[in-house]
Amino acid sequence: MTSSTRSAPTRTPHVTARLAARVRAVAEFIDRHAEETLSLARLARVAGMSGSHLQRRFKAVLGVSPKTYQDGARLRRLKSGLRAGHGVAAAIFDAGYGSTSRVYGEAARNIGMTPSAYRAGGAGEHIAYACRDTVLGPLMMAATARGVCFAQFGTGAGALLAQLRTEFPRATLSPSGAQAEPALDAWMAALDAHLGHDDPRPDVPLDLRGTAFQIRVWRFLLGIPSGHAVSYAEVAAGIGAPRAVRAAAGACAANRIAVLVPCHRVLRGDGDLGGYRWGLARKRTLLARERAPGSAGA
Active-site residue set: 263
Residue 163: Cβ within 10 Å count: 15
Give Cα 157 distance to the centre of its chain: 24
Query: Which long-range contacts link 73-78 to residues 24+ away (Cβ below 8 Å)?
Result: 73/30, 73/31, 73/34, 74/34, 74/35, 75/107, 75/110, 75/111, 75/211, 76/34, 77/34, 77/35, 78/103, 78/107, 78/115
Cα separation, 236 vs 238, whole angstroms: 5
Whether residue 211 contacts residue 75, with contact meaning beta carbons closer than 8 Å, is answered with yes
**Total residue count of the chain as it appears in this document:** 298
Cα separation, 232 vs 224, whole angstroms: 12
Which of 152, 88, 93 has the alpha carbon at shortest distance from 124?
A: 88
Q: What is the DSSP letter of 169?
A: T
